């Protein structure tokens, strides 16, 4: 345990003492600043202590039992020029995903209405672009306006954005932009080589500056080391301000992608990531994202215990599967969770950093 963990508190626990049940929670280095060591120490806690702490933080900031339901739609599928090693939509990988054109407004509205009828409150549109052209932004703006007109919160994930493009999306009524950092900077070049970590940070800044809420998280189970998991949380939690939504994805291993043969993450290590996201970003919606189909109900329940309060809801993610709506409705009912009406308002979500 490093000395930076307890800057003002009592002397750090000596390493000779093996029992850590009463160890103090490592404090951030400074208000809003988390060291990678402090995050690593959280990840390494006894699981029950970590869960208890995460649930305690959760209840201080959120109504217990409230789960946001966000439905995804791939509005522009496949043929992407980037080479993200996890992604079934990269043109370079032979995954069986065919490149399609951007969907028409009517078709998107139908899907959004169906999502709303099923109980979703947020609708997220994904496009397999490296970066949209201004023409694409015009078309997506029409989609955003139409979806917002149904009374849904809108989210889009379209790749890298310039500031004028972010502003145009804001003007069209976009509430959230999803742009993931995916992993620690040190591991990023092992995963994708067609863009740099700084490109991601630049887009996030452009989104912030335009006044759009930020949805930013990552993927685990890509063969990363524990220190990279801590490094991802460090990046996210130290963004000023940290993201309003933090999706934690478990890699969906798609045959044909370079990461298809990665060792799956231990389910408890996944739960730990959720818990540490909750503790370090107390007011963020922490989303239990991709990978639920492979996860089982008990592990998902642990994720909710750890502070996850959002899921992707709908039979499909972008191109891969997600649990059926019926199965999710049943799971939430079995756990006594309330997925169909959020008890906080959209305005509260959007402005909690103000």
Q: Which of 272, 285, 287, 292 is catalytic?
A: 287
In whole angstroms, what is the distance from residue 69 CA to residue 63 CA?
15
Whether 287 is a known active-site residue: answer yes
For residues 334-353, one letter each, b for 16 or more C-beta atoms within 10 angstroms of the residue's C-beta and e for the rest, the string is ebebebeebeeeeeebbebe
By C-beta, is 41 or 84 nearer to ligand SAM?
84
Residues 111-150 that bind ligand SAM (CB under 6 A): 126, 128-129
Q: Is 215 in the site for ligand SAM (CB under 6 A)?
A: no
Q: Which of 122, 200, 215, 292 is catalytic?
A: 215
Whether 80 is a known active-site residue: answer yes
Tokens of 50: 């970590």
Handedness of CA 273, 274, 279, 285 (dihedral sign): positive
Smallest gap from residue 45 Cβ to ligand SAM (A): 26
Whether 124 is a known active-site residue: answer yes
Smallest CA-to-CA distance from 89 within 74, 102, 103, 104 is with 74
> Rounded to 5, what percent of the chain is helix, strand, coil?
40, 15, 45
Whether 216 is a known active-site residue: answer no
Q: Which of 124, 253, 272, 278 is catalytic?
A: 124
By C-beta, is 45 or 228 nearer to ligand DTB?
228
Q: Is 128 in the site for ligand SF4 (CB under 6 A)?
A: yes
Name every residue whose Cβ is closer than 8 Å to that of residue 285 and which is 6 or more positions away in sequence: 68, 244, 245, 246, 309, 310, 349
Smallest gap from residue 296 Cβ to ligand DTB (A): 18
For residue 179, the partner it binds in ligand SAM, ligand SF4, ligand DTB, none, with Cβ less than 5 to 8 A by kind, is: ligand SAM
Report the half-sphere exposure of 253 (CA within 13 A, side-chain side): 12
Whether 215 is a known active-site residue: answer yes
- Cβ-in-10-Å burial (0-12, 13-18, 19+) of 282 comes to middle
Smallest gap from residue 300 Cβ to ligand DTB (A): 16
Smallest gap from residue 269 Cβ to ligand SF4 (A): 23
Instruction: Fill in the per-residue mask, 266 to 295: x = in contact with ligand SAM (CB under 6 A), - = not in contact.
Output: ------------------------x-----
Smallest gap from residue 222 Cβ to ligand SF4 (A): 12
The angle subtended at Cα 144 by Cα 143 and Cα 145, nearest 5°, is 95
Q: Which of 90, 252, 306, 311 binds ligand DTB (CB under 6 A)?
A: 252
Q: Which of 54, 317, 325, 332 binds ligand DTB (CB under 6 A)?
A: 317
Tokens of 124: 């997220």
Q: Is 87 in the site for ligand SF4 (CB under 6 A)?
A: yes
Name every residue whose Cβ is closer than 8 Å to that of residue 114 and which is 6 or more positions away in sequence: none
For residue 251, the partner it binds in ligand DTB, ligand SF4, ligand SAM, none, with Cβ less than 5 to 8 A by kind, is: ligand SAM
Residues serving a catalytic function are 80, 84, 87, 124, 155, 215, 287
């Amino acid at each position: 345990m490093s000395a930076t963990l307890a800057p003002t508190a009592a002397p750090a626990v000596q390493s000779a003492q093996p029992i850590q049940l009463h160890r103090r929670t490592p404090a951030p280095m400074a208000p809003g600043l988390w060291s990678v060591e402090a995050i690593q120490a959280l990840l390494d806690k006894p699981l029950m202590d970590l869960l208890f702490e995460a649930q305690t933080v959760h209840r201080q900031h959120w109504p217990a039992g409230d789960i946001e339901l966000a439905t995804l739609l791939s509005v522009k599928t496949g043929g992407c020029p980037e080479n993200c090693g996890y992604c079934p939509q990269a043109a370079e990988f032979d995954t069986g995903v065919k490149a399609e054109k951007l969907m028409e407004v009517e078709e998107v509205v139908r899907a959004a209405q169906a999502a709303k009828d099923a109980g979703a409150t947020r609708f997220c549109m994904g496009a397999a672009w490296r970066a949209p052209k201004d023409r694409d932004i015009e078309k997506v703006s029409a989609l955003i306006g139409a979806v917002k007109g149904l009374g849904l919160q809108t989210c889009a994930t379209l790749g890298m954005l310039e500031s004028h493009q972010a502003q145009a999306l804001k003007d069209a009524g976009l509430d959230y932009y999803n742009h993931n950092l995916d992993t620690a900077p040190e591991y990023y070049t092992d995963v994708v080589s067609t863009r740099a970590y700084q490109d991601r940070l630049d887009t996030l800044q452009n989104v912030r500056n335009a006044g759009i809420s930020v949805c930013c998280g990552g993927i685990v189970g890509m063969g990363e080391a524990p220190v990279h998991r801590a490094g991802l949380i460090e990046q996210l939690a130290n963004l000023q301000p940290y993201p309003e939504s933090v999706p934690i994805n478990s890699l969906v291993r798609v045959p044909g992608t370079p990461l298809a043969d990665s060792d799956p993450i231990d389910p408890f290590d996944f739960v730990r990531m959720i818990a540490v996201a909750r503790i370090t970003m107390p007011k963020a919606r922490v989303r239990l994202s991709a990978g639920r189909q492979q996860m089982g109900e008990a592990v998902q329940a642990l994720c909710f215990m750890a502070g996850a309060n959002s899921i992707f809801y709908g039979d499909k993610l972008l191109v891969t599967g997600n649990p059926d709506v019926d199965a999710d409705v049943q799971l939430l009912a079995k756990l006594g969770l309330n997925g169909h009406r959020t008890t906080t308002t959209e305005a509260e979500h959007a402005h909690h950093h103000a």
